[in-house]
């Protein structure tokens, strides 16, 4: 990256931090979403209600508010537990916040994907004597993955852009570094345009990758016309 009046390296580091937060939140959020979907579809009514409450609350509150609540609320909670002042760092708060947000939306994506798997195939697998674990591994997950990919892809693109919100609590991400550079050089148009270009490049590469994943997941599948 060009020098950019001495801020080129800092913006590059901010871009790396942004990707780190996004990828970590994607991995953790996907795990949370799958657990949430299983809880919603399972026979346990208590888990059903907990999962429903989780998705309803998180999807009904702006992401920025969730970040602020968890950042400041986490500091208050840890201080009360430890008996001394403990501050939650912006990186941990950001990942935790985006994980639970992504997980709430991923729960509904996975739930719909699981329900889309033909029930007859599951019954046939059970009739062959396959265990529940094998039914999931050989029948449900491969097909669920194909149905879930478009929804997860959209949520990933949203997650990439939502990382910019964490800059409000001091995370040295791309948005934060860009803001500092714009304020120091009094050239906001240049630096914000560069940030926009970087976010666009992230999403463009992601779109290509998602298209390849969807193509791979759909191999051998006959599409009805």
Measured between alpha carbons, how far is residue 7 from residues 139, 187, 195, 198, 217 in Å?
51, 12, 12, 15, 42
**Residue range of the domain that includes 78:** 10-217
What is the domain-level CATH number for residue 62?
1.10.3720.10
pLDDT at residue 118, as a whole number: 85
Neighbours of 146 (CB within 10 A): 18
Q: How many structural domains compose the chain?
A: 1
User: Predicted confidence band at 225 (pLDDT cuts at 50, 70, 90)?
Assistant: very low
**CB contact at 8 A, 32 and 95:** no
pLDDT at residue 137, as a whole number: 84
pLDDT at residue 14, as a whole number: 93
Which residues 6+ apart lie within 8 Å of 62 measured at CB?
none
**CB contact at 8 A, 152 and 30:** yes
Identify whether 146 is part of a domain.
Answer: yes
Identify whether 133 is part of a domain.
Answer: yes
Long-range (24+ apart) CB contacts under 8 A made by 177-184 are: 177/7, 177/10, 177/11, 177/13, 177/14, 178/11, 178/14, 180/7, 180/10, 181/4, 181/5, 181/7, 181/10, 181/11, 184/7
pLDDT at residue 1, as a whole number: 47
User: Predicted confidence band at 124 (pLDDT cuts at 50, 70, 90)?
Assistant: confident
pLDDT at residue 217, as a whole number: 81
Tell me the pLDDT tens digit for each residue of 16-56.
999 999 999 999 999 999 999 999 998 999 999 999 999 99
Identify whether 5 is part of a domain.
Answer: no
Tell me the pLDDT tens digit for each residue of 78-116.
888 888 887 888 899 999 999 999 999 999 999 999 999
pLDDT at residue 7, as a whole number: 84
Q: Which residue has the tokens 């996004």?
A: 22
- Categorise residue 130: left if φ over 0, alpha if ψ from -120 to 50, beta otherwise: beta
Identify whether 120 is part of a domain.
Answer: yes
Identify whether 20 is part of a domain.
Answer: yes
pLDDT at residue 170, as a whole number: 86
pTM of the model: 0.89
pLDDT at residue 40, as a whole number: 94
């Amino acid at each position: 990256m060009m020098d950019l009046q001495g801020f080129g390296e800092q913006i590059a580091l901010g871009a790396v931090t942004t990707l780190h937060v996004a990828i970590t939140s994607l991995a953790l959020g996907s795990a949370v979403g799958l657990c949430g979907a299983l809880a919603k579809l399972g026979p346990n009514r208590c888990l059903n209600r907990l999962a429903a409450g989780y998705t309803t609350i998180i999807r009904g509150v702006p992401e920025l508010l969730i970040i602020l609540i968890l950042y400041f609320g986490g500091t208050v909670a840890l201080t009360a537990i430890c008996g001394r002042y403990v501050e939650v760092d912006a990186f941990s708060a950001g990942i935790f916040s985006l994980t639970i947000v992504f997980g709430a939306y991923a729960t509904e994506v996975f739930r719909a994907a699981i329900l889309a798997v033909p029930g007859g195939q599951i019954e046939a697998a059970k009739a062959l004597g396959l265990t529940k674990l094998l039914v999931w591994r050989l029948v449900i997950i491969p097909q669920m993955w194909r149905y879930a990919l478009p929804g997860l892809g959209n949520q990933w693109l949203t997650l990439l852009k939502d990382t910019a919100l964490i800059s409000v609590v001091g995370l040295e991400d791309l948005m934060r570094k860009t803001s500092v550079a714009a304020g120091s050089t009094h050239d906001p148009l240049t630096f914000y345009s560069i940030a926009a270009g970087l976010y666009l490049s992230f999403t463009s590469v992601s779109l290509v990758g998602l298209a390849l994943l969807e193509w791979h997941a759909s191999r051998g599948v006959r599409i009805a016309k």
